[in-house]
A = this chain, B = another copy of it.
Amino acid sequence: SSASTPIRATLFPGDGIGPEIAESVKQVFREADVPIEWEEHYVGTEIDPRTQSFLTWESLESVRKNGVGLKGPMATPIGKGHRSLNLTLRKELNLYANVRPCYSLPGYKTRYDNVDLITIRENTEGEYSGLEHQVVRGVVESLKIITRQASLRVAEYAFHYAKAHGRERVSAIHKANIMQKTDGLFLKCCREVAEKYPEIKYEEVVIDNCCMMLVKNPALFDVLVMPNLYGDIISDLCAGLIGGLGLTPSCNIGEGGIALAEAVHGSAPDIAGKNLANPTALLLSAVTMLRHLELHDKADRIQNAILSTIAEGKFRTADLGGSSSTSDFTQAIVDHL
């Protein structure tokens, strides 16, 4: 990927604060001379007046064709009769692994120092099957589906990631003492893959115990791989350790090497359009996209500028206790490039 032929990447700014923080990414990328040309599409919970749709076929095709994309927050309306757009994207693009690095930001103090965790979440099945029904009045059931194929696939991804990033250990998180068949199958697949990576340590940790240990001493863990819902829970817990979802990047990996990076925080409708939102999670997610494209120099440069700006502490948005606007914070990052 040479600097002269720009790489096309899809951009879904999303709902609420999405457009503002996407603007911030565009500005930083521009100033850092990142050779990316954005292909912007509206995907969100409002019907787009231009397309009369909240998710067009063209939006999906754009990611499939480009292979990389970045998405802002999309609201999940509870009980509005349509499925979460986040889930729809995961399903349509077969985004099977969700990777969330979670590390302490220098200069931004929380109760925990030196957190450095990677959660890798199976992103397509488990408790998110969507299969639910009423058995009789007052008795409902949901199906959790675990397949060998999806479990092997995410386990492969986790070990591959651990090896490629010089990580020491993969912990498979489960509740196989209760769900012996489903979580049991997940573990069996992890064990099979672990055997192919003798240089990576492998362990299995029950989810309740994992949460207790993460809270007591996050340094006990390194890379964590798990079924869908546990990944949802544990990745948020880990984000909490370093300050919250406003600070953590996330990247979804799909079949055929697709990467859709995303900010996993909410769309914050209360502050939308007010130039108050913190673009850090989307910016750091955009950095993971650059790494996926092997544009490590650009990735390092931008990541350093973001981290230095936060560490310096002069420009911080309200969620981090500061009073900077989105655009002032973004400008400070640009100045650090």
Q: Which residues of A contact B (CB under 8 A)?
A: 76, 78-79, 84, 87, 110-112, 127-128, 132-135, 137-149, 175-182, 184-185, 207-209, 211-216, 229, 232-237, 239-241, 243-245
Say whether A138 contacts B149, CB under 8 Å. yes
- Residue of B132, B175, B212, B244 near A229 (CB, 8 A) is B175
Is chain A's binding surface mostly helix, strand, loop or mixed? Answer: mixed
Say whether B138 contacts A141, CB under 8 Å. no
- Residue of B87, B139, B184, B236 near A211 (CB, 8 A) is B236
- Select from chain B the residue with minimum beta-carbon distance to A129: B141
Query: Do A182 and B244 form a contact, CB below 8 Å, given A144-B144, A145-B141, A237-B211?
Result: no
How long is the Cα–Cα vector from A111 to B207 in the complex, in angstroms? Answer: 21
Query: Do A245 and B139 form a contact, CB below 8 Å, given A132-B180, A144-B144, A177-B84?
Result: no
Residues of B within 8 A of A143 (CB): 141-144
Query: Do A216 and B233 form a contact, CB below 8 Å, given A139-B145, A181-B142?
Result: no
Residues of B within 8 A of A177 (CB): 76, 78, 84
Q: State the copy count for this chain.
A: 2
Nearest chain B CB to A124's CB is how many angstroms away?
A: 13
Residues of B within 8 A of A87 (CB): 178
How long is the Cα–Cα vector from A208 to B148 in the complex, in angstroms? Answer: 26
Say whether A176 contacts B139, CB under 8 Å. no
Nearest chain B CB to A85's CB is how many angstroms away?
A: 12
- Counting from the closest, the 3 A-B pairs by CB-CB distance are A215-B240, A138-B148, A212-B240
- Select from chain B the residue with minimum beta-carbon distance to A84: B177
Nearest chain B CB to A103's CB is how many angstroms away?
A: 15
Residues of B within 8 A of A175 (CB): 127, 229, 232
- Residue of B135, B181, B211, B244 near A133 (CB, 8 A) is B181
Residues of B within 8 A of A212 (CB): 236-237, 239-240, 244-245
Say whether B132 contacts A182, CB under 8 Å. yes
26 contacts between A and B (CB under 8 A): A78-B177, A84-B178, A110-B216, A127-B144, A127-B178, A132-B179, A132-B180, A132-B182, A134-B181, A139-B145, A140-B146, A140-B147, A140-B184, A141-B143, A141-B144, A142-B144, A142-B181, A175-B229, A175-B232, A208-B236, A211-B234, A211-B237, A212-B237, A214-B240, A216-B243, A237-B237
